[in-house]
């Protein structure tokens, strides 16, 4: 279930997409390089660059969905709900669970 079904698509996708900009700034400030994570298996425990890259991938997808929305496309509800749930936590598979994977 999506935690934000009462909000418009623009608000929901904007909330996800905003993470991308924040994470780009965080990576730049810390001197970390954001890298693609799809199909990659990060080292365990992971470092800050891997953590930021993993979360960034979700925010970047929000940016893609926002562009699609502006051209008349509607993103898949289930995928948006999963992204929202991950970013807002708590629970299995949320951003709060990343501390188990992260060390610095």
**Which token pair is 39?**
């199909």
Confidence of residue 48 (pLDDT cuts 50, 70, 90): confident
For 44, the 3-state DSSP assignment is coil
Extents of the domains making up the chain = 9-100
Distance of alpha carbon 34 from alpha carbon 54, whole angstroms = 9
65-79 confidence digits (pLDDT tens)? 999 999 999 999 999
Phi and psi at residue 10, to the nearest 5°: -60, -40
Closest CA to 61 of 77, 80, 48: 80
pTM above 0.85, yes or no: no
Tell whether the model's pLDDT for residue 92 goes beyond 70.
Answer: no
Distance CA 102, CA 54 (A): 11
């Amino acid at each position: 279930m999506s935690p934000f079904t009462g909000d418009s698509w623009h608000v929901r996708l904007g909330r996800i997409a905003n993470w991308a900009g924040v994470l780009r700034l965080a990576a730049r400030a810390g001197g970390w390089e954001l890298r693609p994570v799809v199909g990659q298996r990060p080292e365990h425990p992971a470092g800050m660059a891997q953590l930021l890259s993993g979360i960034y991938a979700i925010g970047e997808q929000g940016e893609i969905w926002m562009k699609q929305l502006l051209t008349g496309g509607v993103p898949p509800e289930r995928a948006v709900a999963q992204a929202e749930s991950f970013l807002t936590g708590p629970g299995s598979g949320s951003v709060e669970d990343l501390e188990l994977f992260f060390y610095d």
